[in-house]
A and B are shown apart, each in its own frame.
Chain A
């Protein structure tokens, strides 16, 4: 018994400390270095953060270049798949155009009515935001994080927590800012929690990512019911996100109320980072 334990000790010691013919470092030394780096990175010291930002910027650029062949193959596959389903899509689009034509008439009427009402109650006309356009450099779907890296950073005024839009709808917020790149935490990530308001009745809830395409609504009022026209908007209650940014349509799935996002987080390419609310002049 003791011989077995001795053997194990000898072999594990040899594996940890032996460097072999072409090994410059022992495993033990490198594990210690890794643990040290991990502790330093978690300490949150400012010099370490700056160093990490520089490393991030460098590696993101290299990563964007090296990923291009993989992305090209993916685009080629998508191109062929899209062409195969083009007939069905055409039929669907024709029906959609007809539907939209009808909706346009209704919208036009509502727009006029809304304008008149706004003039009456002198509502603040500021409805748009000051944004900055950015391109997705990396789109990593790891088991730990659903995020995307964009090609703008603190050099253009991006700060932590800023909301990010795609086609005018919220897709996430900034969680990491480097000098020339930033990371967006997407709404469907496990770590994403956003306070929302539900139209038309104005119920408050929290939109939580679950790692799948549709995030779910939590902390809904008791006896909550919703219709086909129920939409989720940011409530701005956290004091970080602006209120009134559209997010998605409510759906009932797997016994939970979920939100089908207006923009598919896996299909984004260009995004807008909301820097501030626009002034009256900008909004006009």
Chain B
């Protein structure tokens, strides 16, 4: 029994954040959470930032890159736009992880602003300057704002989840 729990925790449960990230990138998640013409949020940024910051062994940079490629195909953006954006979010998370000794919700939350700004700025800059697409600034602003506001909610959920998947001595 204990062996089964261990296999389940080390296998499926540790893979769940990655599965969620891939699912969000490949499905119509954006469309289903696009209300009142302004409400949308970037769950990919939240997942990448949280897990790279708190437990990088769960989410590899290679998978972040692949999810970015999938997202570009589904959203019809030039290939490479989302991976660059996601990898810079990962870079901010890795920097914060290396630079801080003890992180709390508030330190994570406020450094997340920098990650969102850099991530969205890169996407906007690449679309505006290297493609024929036209991007509107206002929806991106609302998207960034709601992503920032919702971060503590997902932080709480992921913290609980992280505690649940930790292996104890007798597992």
**Interface, chain A (partner B; CB < 8 A):** 7, 11-12, 14-16, 18, 20-27, 30-31, 33-42, 52, 55-56, 59-60, 62-63, 66-67, 70-71, 73-74, 138-145, 147, 176, 183, 190-191, 211-212
Binds A, one of B53-61, B108-116, B148-156, B158-166: B53-61
For chain B residues 23-67, which have a beta carbon within 8 Å of chain A? 23, 26-32, 34, 37, 40, 56-57, 60-62, 64-65
Interface residue count for B (Cβ, 8 Å)? 53
In the complex the two chains form, what is the Cα distance from A41 to B56 in whole Å?
A: 30
Contact partners of B145 in chain A: CB under 8 A: none
Label chain A's interface by main secondary structure. Answer: helix
| Chain A residue contacts of B118, Cβ below 8 A | none
Complex alpha-carbon distance, A36 and B83, angstroms: 11
The 10 closest A-B pairs by CB, nearest first: A38-B80, A15-B94, A143-B139, A34-B83, A37-B80, A67-B28, A41-B79, A59-B73, A67-B27, A22-B57
A178 to chain B, nearest CB (A): 10
Q: Write the nearest CB–CB distance from A260 to chain B, whole angstroms.
A: 16
Inter-chain contact A20/B56, CB cutoff 8 Å: yes
B: residues with CB less than 8 A from A are 23, 26-32, 34, 37, 40, 56-57, 60-62, 64-65, 68-70, 73-81, 83-84, 87-88, 90-91, 94-95, 97-99, 126-127, 130-136, 139-140, 143
Instruction: Judge whether B74 and A138 touch: CB under 8 Å.
Output: yes
Is there an interface contact between A140 and B65, defined as CB atoms closer than 8 Å? no
CA–CA, A93 and B65, complex, Å: 52
Complex: A187 Cα to B26 Cα, angstroms: 25
Contact at A140–B30, with CB atoms within 8 Å? yes
How far apart are the CA atoms of A63 and B81 in the complex, in Å? 19
Q: Is the CB of B79 within 8 A of A12?
A: no
Q: Among the listed A31, A37, A70, A211, which residue makes an inter-chain contact with B27, where contact means beta carbons less than 8 Å apart?
A: A70
Give the CA-CA distance A40 to B84 in the complex, in Å.
Answer: 14
Give the residues in chain A near B136, CB-CB below 8 Å: 143, 190, 211
B80 near A11 with CB under 8 A, answer no
Query: Which label, helix, strand, loop or mixed, suits the secondary structure of the B interface?
Result: helix
CA distance A70 to B74 in the complex (A): 16
**With A and B bound together, what is the CA distance between A70 and B31 in angstroms?**
9
Given contacts A11-B98, A22-B56, contact A211 B139 (CB under 8 A): yes
Closest Cβ of chain B to A170, distance in Å, is 20
Does the CB pair B73–A23 fall under 8 Å?
Answer: no
Cβ contact of B84, chosen from A24, A31, A70, A73, cutoff 8 A: A31
In the bound assembly, the distance between CA atoms of A41 and B77 in angstroms comes to 10
Say whether B28 contacts A138, CB under 8 Å. yes
- Which of B31, B32, B88, B133 gathers most chain A CB within 10 Å? B31
User: Is B27 a contact partner of A176 (Cβ separation < 8 A)?
Assistant: no
Q: Which of B74, B88, B98 has the most CB of A within 10 A?
A: B74
Contacting pair B28 A70 (CB below 8 A): yes
Minimum distance in angstroms from A41 CB to a CB of chain B = 4
Q: Is the CB of A41 within 8 A of B78?
A: yes
Say yes or no: B98 contacts A14, CB within 8 Å: yes
Could you tell me the distance in whole angstroms from the C-beta of A267 to the nearest C-beta in chain B? 13
Question: Once the chains are docked, how many angstroms separate the CA of A102 from the CA of B83?
Answer: 59
Contact at A38–B79, with CB atoms within 8 Å?
Answer: yes
